[in-house]
Chains A and B, each alone.
Chain A
Amino acid sequence: MRDDRRPGAIERAGSWIYEGVWGVVTGLFLVPREPPRMPTAVGSNSGGEALQLKPGEAYLRYRKFWFWIGLSLVDVALVIFWLVVTWRFPVVGVVIAVPMLVLIVLPDVIAYLVIQLSYDTTWYVITDRSMRLRSGVWTTHEMTLTFENVQNVEIMQGPIERHFGIATLKVETAGGSAAAGAPGGGGNIGLLVGMQNAAEVRELVMQRVRASRSSGLGDEAKEPASRQGWSTTAVGELRRIRATLQMAH
């Protein structure tokens, strides 16, 4: 996933520090570093190969873009506040100089790391029957859903997201609850944020959703009345027979 241009000294040092942070976070905070796995079910005809997706690199740039905007606003406000205090009460200004500096710098560092970490711990695993979405650093959140239960799929993109070339894919089931705490959505909503190939993934998901014929509300898949008693594979065979006959002029 990493870009293949050679990292400079600063980037190398950054990655060293970052790896150290990773060590602390994964060790102390027990953040899972590996993508989640899906169990391969008996009767599933897939080879068990699951598609592992992540938000695109552009999503990281997008998050950092907002980070820098937020950082400038907050830090400018804090510096102005400190200047005003120092101008009015020079002694107080000197005393609070160091705490203010910490207050300005520390949240920025933490926020920056959290952005990087949340990017690295976000995984979207798609199998032929289901999806598992995981994200989160402080609270890890994981959602598992089967395509059988998917109600609709939506792509959302704002102007700034469009500039960065990313979009959010929203997969909704009929599960109804607002508070299950999926990041950015209700409990019945699976969000694949920062996808650079959202349309492609949507097609993939929809193709697998279309394979199921039920309404996704717990009812059984029913055959259309016209093919009652014929299995899907049998109907497929009939179609192939027709095609074979048509080929034989």
Chain B
Amino acid sequence: MTSTQAGTANRMSNPVPHGTVADFDASMITRPDDALLRYYAITSAFTLIAFPIVFLVQYVRFRTLRYRFDDEGVWMGWGWLWRQEISLTYRRIQDIHVTKNIIQRWLGLASVQLQTAAGGVSPQMEIEGVLDAEQLRDFLYIKMRGARGESTAQPSVDGRSTETSDEVTTLLREIREGIERQNARIDAMQKAIDGRIGGDHA
């Protein structure tokens, strides 16, 4: 995997919300930040005697770790002798976890864990070494199912665009308002007739 290919990945075409997420471009994230290497060094130092082996493994992971965020999903790959690559689409994300232990907070890091509905003992994807974890989280959240309320609108699966159903809704609303006006007129007329009859009696 070359580190340049993801840098030129397609820009997000979807509208992004105003506020913090607007100036955030997830497709720019292709590599973990150098702070991750420091984090790996500190955590592997806790293993004392196993430090050289643990750190070597972590170092290889750091050097080979690549991310690619595109319009539909995220890809992640690492490893040299033992290679691993994971892809998932944003819409299949079930929940997003952001954990920061105290060392990660000192280094400005976070671990963003994405879960799909697949069962397993570990989260399906763990994005490490991102400095703007909060922004990445919100970016992913906006792309999740149910975050934008598409479920309440008619999905355009059968080729019927939402404009059609909007037109139907408008028509129906006009019909309802028409009936309401008619009802009001009938009521008024009824009242007028009642009043006249009452007046005749008096």
Please tell me if A15 contacts chain B, counting CB pairs below 8 Å.
no
Question: Given contacts A43-B149, A175-B94, A231-B168, is CB(A146)–CB(B144) below 8 Å?
Answer: yes
B177 → chain A closest CB, angstroms: 9
Question: Given contacts A41-B17, A143-B95, A145-B95, is CB(A187)–CB(B115) below 8 Å?
Answer: yes
Please tell me if A95 contacts chain B, counting CB pairs below 8 Å.
no
Q: Are B19 and A244 in contact (CB under 8 A)?
A: no
Q: Are A174 and B117 in contact (CB under 8 A)?
A: yes
Q: Are A232 and B154 in contact (CB under 8 A)?
A: yes
List, in ascending order, chain A residues with CB within 8 A of B96's CB: 143-145
How far is B52's CA from A9's CA once the two chains are assembled, in angstroms? 55
Q: Are B121 and A229 in contact (CB under 8 A)?
A: no
Q: Are A139 and B97 in contact (CB under 8 A)?
A: no
How far is B153's CA from A230's CA once the two chains are assembled, in angstroms? 10
The tally of residues in B whose CB lies under 8 Å from a CB in A reads: 64
Range, interface on chain A: 35 or more
Q: Residues on A close to B: CB < 8 A?
A: 29-30, 38-45, 129-130, 136, 138-149, 173-182, 187-188, 190, 211-214, 216-218, 220-223, 228-234, 237-238, 240-241, 244-245, 247-248
Nearest 3 interchain pairs by C-beta = A148-B146, A175-B94, A175-B115
Q: Residues on B close to A: CB < 8 A?
A: 15-21, 91-92, 94-102, 105-106, 113, 115-124, 137-138, 141-142, 144-155, 157-158, 160, 162, 165-166, 168-169, 172-173, 175-176, 179-180, 182-183, 186
